[in-house]
Structure 1
């Protein structure tokens, strides 16, 4: 009988532990105008996460733009902008598409369930709720978001140089060009001279090491957080500079 080799499956406990460590100190934004309700949430969540609070939707939007929390827990019945309107405003920004929004509502608003989903909420909890259940739901959404982030990074980052890949460049340029007012964008196209000869003389491992060093030099040369480096393929790189004209 011949034996066949099968790929090793990742250990479930190891994956779970990795996700648990990865989401430690995640930022949880609680939008709640009732002090007693906020204190309950803070008591169960603050030992595990970095808890922030806003009392109304407008303040929450400003803070979300500033800190990009990992999850938002919002009371439905807020003064002024309610939880549904807040969720809709959050979903207007593509960079926040994958931030989980967990809605908390009283029994009398439970019939708004369809409105919660239509607004883009990820989940909702009906009062009175179990704090253990709420904590477990927060954990579930944070773990899922972390896995999603890792998959996205793997799809958008060059495995060798750890800078963005061509797929990321195409996606980002499409987003920039589709804006109502497209910003000035400059692109530096960079090609490494005589790279094939370098590979032939010193070997592909040395060539890979050189590409990694070049990517690091380019990345460290960036002056603004909006600028980014992309590996187009082989020894070709691009540096994208939004809001930069030719001069």
Structure 2
């Protein structure tokens, strides 16, 4: 554990991420946490970074992704606790299992994928970065103050109905497509008496995307996301996803 922490701390300080235009990743957006985040990007939990290069995401890949995500029920994440990592303040999403199950299925289907390019062994735990701008000399005092300021806003909950595919354009991460998860059992029960899904839209309106029946277009995600590890081991080497 100590060795892992040292390795991540060193990587946090290098500011080195080998991203190239067209690199992709999967994230879960957490809009309820946007007011808490101080790292300049929308609040999110990384599912898998990196995914395959954008040039490989053809109609077949989109179809396979839609089918893969549709096998997972929607779920709820609760953010009730802060955590620290070298230079990082984060929120711990609970439970971890639904996020890990998505990651596992993606890496089973595309076995050449290695979370975080193998920089952290088996990968990092699910996490939501709040801030990662402080160095060793200032982080304790700065994050103590920030945590005290934000603690009254917890707990937060996020109902996750979809996973976002984002692409690096050389300057920022942009949304490419949204893949819907299956409705939870209670939602399926609620809609059982309706003729078809369109009669009761639990997920909100949206247009079809060329990237598969369940992939929906979405707005641009601003800023280069920087995510931080929950445990040594998640979305930053460790600082960028």
Q: TM-score, normalised by structure 2?
A: 0.22
Q: TM-score, normalised by structure 1?
A: 0.22
* Rg larger in structure: 1
Structure number with greater CO (CA < 8 Å, separation at least 6) is 2
Write 1 or 2 for the structure with the bigger share of strand.
2
Write 1 or 2 for the structure with the bigger share of helix.
1
